[in-house]
Structure 1
Amino acid sequence: MTGRVLEGRYRIGPRIARGGMASVYEATDIRLDRTVAIKIMHPGLGDDDEFAARFVREARSAARLSHPNVVAVYDQGDDHGTVFLAMELIDGITLRDVIRKEAPMPPARALALMEPVLSALAAAHRAGLIHRDVKPENVLIADDGRVKVADFGLARAVSADTQHTATGGVLIGTVSYLAPELVIDGRADARADVYAAGVVLFELLTGAKPHEGETPIQVAYKHVHDDVPAPSTLEPGLPPYVDALVARATARDRSLRPADAGVLLHQVRRVTHALAEGVAEDPELTQDLTPLLVAPPVPDGDQREETRDLERTTRLRTSPPPPPAPARRTGRPRRRRGLLATVLAVLLVAGLAVGSWWFFDGRYTSTPGVLGMTKAAAAQKLADAGLEVEYGDQAYSETVPAGRVVATDPAPGDQVLDGGTVAVTISLGKERYDVPKLKGLTEDEAQDALAQAHLAYGTTKDRWSDTVPEGQVITSSPKAGTTLRPDAAVDLVVSKGPKPVRLKDWVGKDADDALAWLRAKGLDGKVVSEEYSDTVADGGVISMDPPSGTTLHRGDAVQLVVSKGPELVDVPSVRGQGVDAATQTLEGLGFHVETRQAPGSLGLGFVFSQDPEAGARVPRGSTITLNLI
């Protein structure tokens, strides 16, 4: 894309970021002469007309957001299938960079970072927009300290009409920040953004994500079934009301969360005020923030059906009996009926007890523990327990060797129906990837190669190189072939081309030495002419183009003018000529003339002899001495 002009207006410069759905480039708005950021969707997404239409619709909605903490959207376009957004360019770092450097951080600092984020989300929620991909990478911090939230509307555009199902629906968002309802059915409202913001706050406070797993599916499962732990379990000493704030924002039951980011922002400011006052404990604030209910686990299909059956049975068995019909008083028959009723009641209670035991416990058995066993051994143990086996997708594991059982569903010790099925996951061993060969690729190509290899791009260092062209990778750290964990960072060393040369002054010095030095520096030295010089010896440099002190790059040309020494002139014979005539002749040829009286001179004024002698070749401007008689 670099160098391309979109819609005749945006000249694309270097790529500055790459995500799962789009890449961001620095660009120049030719029309307004300003620098902008251009987000360009990956081709596979932009080719979908329905998606492109949703993208345009949501981009227009996002462009209506005018808030100091929202990255402004200037324009949207489609240049022959290249769907793009033109946005405000923020020079700085992301909140992810801050987490790497500062987390775990004091709660006051964490909340100070969250306030502008929540303010931006609150503005979006008031406008009817849901971000749906709140994460540290989408929070930009400018060099002057301004906090900006990016990517408004993009995630919503991707999934506005998409439902997540167990049979192949699309799940949009970064798994570490997904609200449970997004995992279950793919539908979300403003409270999904609240949940993600709560997870970000947890990460700021602890330096860790609340839910970790060896696969994205395991992380998503934990979001549905496990509460976000209290930050104080990782960072003891945090006030209880800070724990309560995180618990409220990340409640699995979305009805217990703040209704939108504006409500959460109000709660954050209450906590910020308490921290500023130095309050260690505030029971009233803690109680106000603590969720009042515990969200029930979401049952699977079979469990939901069993639950409904159980509820119907319970209602039938616990409904109060109808009032008895009036009866006439009699003697012994009444006592018999009372005894019979007692026996029937006992039998009914016993039947209910047995039925309840069977329904809740008797028809179940415990899942045998087979973790770490080979596939064959695990299958045999489950078969011996009367259970069926099915194998799901294999999963990587840091602790369980390849080919052995890494997980079962139900888990070991959990109840399973007699004769039921246990899903077994076999380990693929440790997930590792080799650093690809990157030398000779451009920086963009290297980043793409790392993404395809399940590795992360780290940083780039520029280095002079006489052998690798400018803009290409010289090497990587770690080097190609090194085996790394997934998403491990790989740093690049990129060539700046040959190191510039400051041209040395060779005027008056030997031309051969000058040419040798130029060749050693990778410069193209040439002798363009030779001239006579009265000041520079033969073979010396008279002049250079460019002049000394100029900064040059490898391959640049340097032209030399080389001296042939002084120009030589034949000395004519002026012997016998009068002094005036001889002087005029010699000076006409560029000589200087000196005269003196020869020994025994008669004072006639004629040349008796000359030095140098006639026929000698001497430099122009030489002095000729005339001896007069």
Structure 2
Amino acid sequence: MTERSQPGPGYVLAGRYLLEERLGRGGMSTVWRARDQVLDREVAVKVVAEMEDAEVTAERFRRETRVTAALNHPNIVTVFDAGVDNDRAFLVMELLPGSTLADELRTRGAFPFEEIRSIAIQVSAALGAAHHAGLVHRDVKPGNIARAADGAVKVLDFGITHIIDEAVADSGSPLTATGAVIGTAAYLAPEQARGMRVDQRADIYALGCVLFALITGRPPFQGPTAVSTMMAHATEPVPNIQEARPDVPPQLAAIVTAMLAKDPDARPADAATLEAALRAETAEAVTQLLPPPVVVGEDTAVVPAAGLPAPMRAYPADAPAPVVAAPVVAPARAAAEPEDSDVLLPMEEEEEGSRRGLLIGLIALAVLMVVGFAWWLLSGDPQLTADRSPTAAVPASASPSVDASPSVSPSPQTTEASPSPTPSPS
């Protein structure tokens, strides 16, 4: 491959993996169906866009491969190998035959409640295993949750977002930096949107957004741009899920609402607690496992972060959570829109001049959006921002890790084949 060429069908990656079919692509990577010529089996290969130091990125992939492989969890996709080929790092993982939840949201809309509960329990178990091993996903979304052959779900791309963040920071490339900053905003925790350090509770928030989408057919926040959606996560009250779908069971509504709390301390403490709440049979058991809910009040005493408004306060510890009786109605069938449209994709089909002009325009637009968002982030009191950092936070990149896109609803990538691959481009 030359510096500007892209690997295509028939190319043998690292002398071992024969690329057969491009399954999807995103702003930072492309996913291929490939054949491992050594073990003679089909695999999925994620090829990351060129970085200035691909060997460093590949070493990060190898490091995460070792950690992820050690998890050996039935709800986490298996990673086989990592390496570098012609300045492109790649990751090799199992190829699942089923679709992603993003694909299913596009075709099915809202899910049945028992199926949602089953999916939530499986993903919570996967996150719990990863968090126990010190991994925070940072990009939980419908496109990173896929079906295995038996119908169970598996979580994809543990550690990938963090690796790309590090590679982008090292490369200093305006194009790749834009792709890393703007993206899957529909599933981004408020602390990620603010560029703060994150811990496992950011994954719990993101899973809450996924469950909201499965219940209602769309994520809780959808703005005209990725930046406006990120700002909504950080500043706007969570929509009432019982208004969006009145027949939602009150226990499930209470769990999802707690997962979507702006303050990480108001969310379930960890994935194990979340899984226990999802398995609980009674409202009393759920209430005991969740932090007290929050409401708007005149005596609000919450200190806002980064100069942002604080519209909610906690109930007193002895106050019962309100329960709203929900009438039974037909499930919502609102069509899910693309999770990310990957505006920074390479466009081989375009003429060189139009491609260059479009890329320049996209970069200029993205820079304006990022500058505006940065101004918003820095306009508040920096001391308040520091005070809101979660205790014992897991180090993360200063920039939120998202895919390039002004679109923020479920659908992780441009799908080019059916069924969808397990891994989704980042």
**Fold shared by both chains (TM-score > 0.5):** yes
How big is the shift at 1:116? 1.4
Structure 2: distance between partners of 1:29 and 1:456: 24
Cα contact 1:46–1:83 (8 A) shared by 2: no
Letter in 2 for 1:28: R
**Counterpart residue identity of residue 156, structure 2:** A
> Does the alignment pair 1:115 with 2:121?
yes
In structure 1, the residue matched to 2:174 is none
* Shift in Å, 1:50: 4.7
Question: Are the aligned partners of 2:221 and 2:232 in contact in 1 as well (CA < 8 Å)?
Answer: yes
Higher radius of gyration, 1 or 2: 1
Rate the CA distance shift 1:161–1:291 in 2: closer, same or farther, 3 A: farther
- Structure 1 residue 54 and structure 2 residue 60: aligned? yes
Q: What's the counterpart of residue 198 of structure 2? A: 188
Counterpart-to-counterpart distance in 1, 2:75 and 2:25:
22
Alignment of 1:214-363 (within 5 A): 214-270=224-280, 273-274=281-282, 282=283, 285-286=286-287, 289=290, 291-293=292-294, 296=302, 298-300=304-306
TM-score in terms of structure 1 length: 0.44
Q: Which structure features the higher share of strand residues?
A: 1
Over the aligned positions, Cα root-mean-square deviation in angstroms equals: 3.3
CA distance in 2, matches of 1:246, 1:302: 23
Task: Note closer, same or farther for the CA distance 1:162–1:299 as it changes in structure 2 (3 Å cut).
Answer: farther
| Structure 2 Cα separation of the partners of residues 7 and 15 of structure 1 | 17
Q: More displaced, 19-28 or 152-161? A: 152-161
Measured at CA, do residues 460 and 35 of structure 1 come closer, stay the same or move farther in structure 2, by a change above 3 Å? closer
Following superposition, the deviation at residue 120 of structure 1 comes to 1.2
Structure 2 counterpart SS, 1:185: coil
In the alignment, is the contact (CA less than 8 A) between 2:277 and 2:289 conserved in 1?
no
Figure out how many residues of one structure are paired with residues of the other and give that number: 303
Question: Aligned partners of 1:3 and 1:18: how far apart in 2?
Answer: 17
**Structure 1 Cα separation of the partners of residues 100 and 309 of structure 2:** 43
Aligned match of 2:49 in 13, 22, 42? 42
Aligned to 1:585: none
Match of 1:136 among 125, 128, 142: 142
Counterpart position of 1:321: none
CA shift in 2, pair 1:46/1:24, >3 Å:
farther
Q: Distance in 1 between matches of 2:99 and 2:141?
A: 14
Q: Which moved more, 1:230-239 or 1:99-108?
A: 99-108
The residue matched to 1:93 in structure 2 has which SS? coil
Shift of 1:61: 2.0
| Structure with the higher fraction of residues in helix conformation | 2
Secondary structure in 2 aligned to 1:291?
Answer: coil
1:365 match:
none
User: Tell me, which stretches of 5 or more residues in structure 1 are unaligned?
Assistant: 275-281, 305-392, 396-408, 411-450, 462-629
Residue 119 to residue 301, structure 1, CA distance change in 2 (3 Å) = closer
C-alpha distance in 2 between matches for 1:161 and 1:79: 16
Query: TM-score when scaled to structure 2?
Result: 0.63
1:84 paired residue among 90, 93, 107: 90
- Residue 217 of structure 2 is matched in structure 1 by 207
* 2: CA distance, partners of 1:214 / 1:302: 21
Does 2:74 correspond to 1:97?
A: no
* Aligned residue in 2 for 1:16: 23
Q: Is the 8 A contact 1:61 1:153 kept in 2?
A: no
Deviations 1:271-296 (A, max 9, x none): xx34xxxxxxx366447536345694
- How far apart, CA to CA, are the structure 1 residues paired with 2:265 and 2:168? 23
Q: Determine the structure 2 residue equivalent to 1:438.
A: none
CA shift, 1:19, in A, is: 2.1
Residue identity over aligned pairs, in percent, reads 41
- Residue deviations 1:182-213 (CA, integer Å, cap 9, x gap): 11124211111000001101111111211111
Task: Give the structure 2 partner of residue 175 of structure 1.
Answer: 185
Higher RCO (C-alpha 8 Å, min separation 6): 2
* Aligned counterparts of 2:45 and 2:308: Cα–Cα separation in 1: 49
Distance 2:309 2:203 in 1: 29
1:14–1:25 Cα contact (<8 Å) kept:
yes
Contact 2:212/2:241, CA 8 A, preserved across alignment: yes
Letter in 2 for 1:75: D
User: Deviations for 1:286-344, whole angstroms, at most 9, x for unmatched residues?
Assistant: 4753634569474546999xxxxxxxxxxxxxxxxxxxxxxxxxxxxxxxxxxxxxxxx
Q: What residue ranges of structure 2 are gaps of 5+ in the alignment?
A: 1-6, 170-176, 296-300, 311-363, 367-374, 377-406, 419-426
* Residue 154 in structure 1 maps to residue 160 in structure 2: yes
